[in-house]
């Protein structure tokens, strides 16, 4: 049973991710190339994946994760792990992409602010995971 204290951050993160996935669903070639280029620039194993295929897979993953977060019958520990893996990848992209952080390698530049917000998703994942592991303690 999902507790209200768990469902509020789940709903916020889930709605955001679900919208992101739905927005990418019919991406044109230029959009797909931009999304793929950003990801492949950080994670080189993605270089060989065709941009439209990558964007469709990303869209599907975001829709699945967003839906799992929003529906209350998916266990919180499970969605916390999914959100943690997903947001860690996004934070990694933020930290590794040139021009996203200031000289200290952490604080965002103006261009990096859009990606830096993914730290909040990682924080939500951590909070949900801790809450699900310490339930009743």
Q: CB within 8 A of 93, min separation 6: which ones?
A: 38, 39, 42, 43, 115
Sign of CA pseudo-dihedral 16, 18, 20, 23: negative
What is the distance between the alpha carbons of residues 42 and 89, in angstroms, rounded to a whole number?
10
What value does the mean pLDDT take over residues 2-11? 92
Average pLDDT of the segment spanning 104-111: 90
**Residue 116 in this model has a pLDDT that exceeds 90:** no
- Judged against a pLDDT cut of 90, whether residue 137 lies above it is answered with no
Q: In the prediction, which pLDDT does 47 show?
A: 95
pLDDT in tens, 34-88: 999 999 998 999 999 999 999 999 999 999 999 999 999 999 999 999 999 999 9
- pLDDT at position 136 is 56
Model confidence, pTM: 0.89
């Amino acid at each position: 049973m999902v507790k209200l204290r768990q469902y509020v951050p789940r709903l916020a993160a889930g709605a955001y991710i679900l919208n992101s996935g739905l927005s990418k669903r019919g991406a044109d070639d230029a959009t797909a190339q931009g999304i793929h280029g950003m990801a492949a620039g950080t994670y080189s194993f993605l270089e060989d994946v065709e941009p439209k295929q990558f964007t469709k897979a990303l869209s599907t993953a975001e829709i699945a994760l967003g839906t799992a977060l929003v529906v209350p019958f998916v266990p919180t520990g499970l969605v916390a792990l999914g959100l943690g893996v997903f947001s860690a990848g996004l934070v990694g992209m933020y930290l590794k992409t040139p021009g996203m952080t200031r000289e200290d390698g952490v604080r965002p530049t103006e261009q990096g602010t859009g990606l830096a917000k993914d730290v909040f998703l990682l924080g939500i994942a951590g909070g949900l995971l801790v809450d699900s592991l310490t339930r009743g303690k």
